[in-house]
Amino acid sequence: MKSATAHEVDYVVVGCGIAGLRAAIELAAAGRVLVLSKAELTESATQYAQGGIAVALSDEDEIGLHYQDTLKAGDGLCHEAAVKIMVEEGPRYIQELIDWGTAFDREGPRLAFTREGAHSRSRVLHAHGDSTGREIARVLFSRARALGSLEFLPFVFTSDLIVEKGRVAGVQILDEERGRASEIRARAVLLATGGLGQVYAETTNPAVATGDGIAIAYRAGAVLQDMEFIQFHPTALDVKGAPRFLLSEALRGEGGWLRNVELERFMPRYHEAGDLAPRDVVSRAIIAELERTGSEFVYLDMTQLDPDRVRARFPRIAATCAQYNLDLATDLIPVRPAAHYAMGGVATDLDARTTLPGLYAAGEVACAGVHGANRLASNSLLEGLVFGARAGQAMVKGYPAEKRSARQHAKAGSTPAPVAAGKKDPPAAEVEQRLARIRAVMWQKVGILRDARSLTQALETFRALAQPLPASPTRSHYEEENVRTVAEIIARCALAREESRGAHYRADFPFRRDALASKHSRLGQGEEVTFE
């Protein structure tokens, strides 16, 4: 690493997904904004979002129905005020996306909606069949880049927050392209770093989803909430040598069926909604069928539908299946559950403020209570859009930019600081081995089915793996530390919640406890898990 430098802007946004981009657009007119991405600017969970974005815009739908469906899926743990904001403000922000050029699919002149699990109406908008997130990101990037006060920096890893006098005053970064460590000072910081699926061996999440935002917020002293609630998507492609590619719930929304290896449609035995039951129910049903039949997968069956329509409606999924010699329309597609989405995260209020002054969070890294114990399908993009905008508005109001001269606005000082030389860094192979160990333990011990014994064993493993970072850590070192930190937090919260609710299922407590209804787990650094 070369010497560290200090740089000053008005606002820092960490992450380039839907929440980060929408917040940056909101911040652009207020001051100088720096948007950071640890990989390519386009590499985020938003880019991989297939099925769509849920919003009550069709003639047959109502905002009140979307609200009720979200609460029902959340299994008694949704923050009702947050849900109300999302479903009521969602249509306005969706219309804004359309006005900016988002090409949602249409049937003639009318927007096309599909239905997904636990929705009472067809309210899921989609684009290019199964590339909804990519289309929304395209439009947001186009809008953001047209605003002169936004600066984007790819391949910059945010390693920690700067906290001074009880408030966040900026971020510490590793600039991989330039090979240097830096400090960026800011009046306010937004974490929009996305998810944490890479703490599991089996996940649909991209490689960048290592829980960085949650880990750095926790280290800085922010409170986390509902971290035990991890949603496992029922249908990830299960082909030897293939990544766990997501097969959208919209496939079942369009009429696809699940079959076990005996070719039986099993979901009607588990839930009245059959193949469109809530995701946690479907995932547990699949696990039960795998154990009963001794198989490693079940099948997704689209063969009863018109083949041309299937391929046209899901071109990206069909193309991916074809890479593994599978025809989405005419073959039975092997699938099994994989870690997909975190309902919990950095605790925020309705304006994306965290418990640390100067720090905001939006999107999957945050927990405003919108999803409760189990996210309703396709609400994640909507949450990122609505609360990303609200975060930007709140940052401007809470931390208005100071007026600067043109020279100051361009660059507010560069102060070199030495970086410790340190001992020899652990080899990359050792880091990868530790990551593999953590991920395997999370999948086996802190997965779809949990109990006190497995959770305690997982915690013992993680604590034994704890070790200080090297004096000159690289991105891989930080990611490994973040994965271990987040894994331990999930296991601690899962052990503390002695009930089964939503996506959190305890085999030793297979029931809900009334005393924990509407009670959120809360955890800060150096504290025990509490329920509030």
| DSSP codes of every residue in 196-223 | -GGGSSSBSS-TT-S-HHHHHHHHHTPP
**What sign for the dihedral angle of Cα 432, 438, 204, 95?**
negative
Closest CA to 301 of 336, 231, 252, 243: 252
- 3-class DSSP state for residue 304? coil
Question: How many whole angstroms separate alpha carbon 20 and alpha carbon 43?
Answer: 12
For residue 338, the cross-strand partners are: 233
Q: At what angle do helices 18-27 and 132-145 cross, to 10 degrees?
A: 20
Question: How many whole angstroms separate alpha carbon 227 and alpha carbon 218?
Answer: 12
For residue 124, the cross-strand partners are: 54, 114
Q: Is 484 a catalytic residue?
A: no
Which of the residues 22, 244, 279, 336 is marked catalytic? Answer: 279
62 contacts 182 by C-beta, under 8 angstroms? no
7 contacts 36 by C-beta, under 8 angstroms? no
330-350: buried (b, 16+ CB within 10 Å) or exposed (e) per residue? eebbbbbbbbbbbbbbbbbbe
Question: How many whole angstroms separate alpha carbon 360 and alpha carbon 342?
Answer: 18
| DSSP codes of every residue in 88-136 | HHHHHHHHHHHHTT----EETTEEPEE--TT-SS--EE-STTT-HHHHH
Question: How many whole angstroms separate alpha carbon 351 and alpha carbon 82?
Answer: 9
Instruction: Output DSSP code: residue 9.
Output: -
Six-digit token string for 118: 């636990």
Question: How many whole angstroms separate alpha carbon 20 and alpha carbon 15?
Answer: 5
Residue 85 φ then ψ, to 5°: -60, -45
Q: Which are the contacts of 195, defined by CB distance < 8 A and separation ≥ 6?
A: 45, 205, 209, 211, 341, 342, 364, 365
Cβ contacts of 498-502, under 8 Å, gap ≥ 24:
501/75, 501/76, 501/77, 501/373, 502/73, 502/74, 502/75, 502/77, 502/229, 502/280, 502/343, 502/372, 502/373, 502/374
- Angle of CA points 255, 204, 111, to nearest 5°: 45
- The secondary structure element, H or E, covering residue 288 is helix 279-293
The catalytic residues are 279
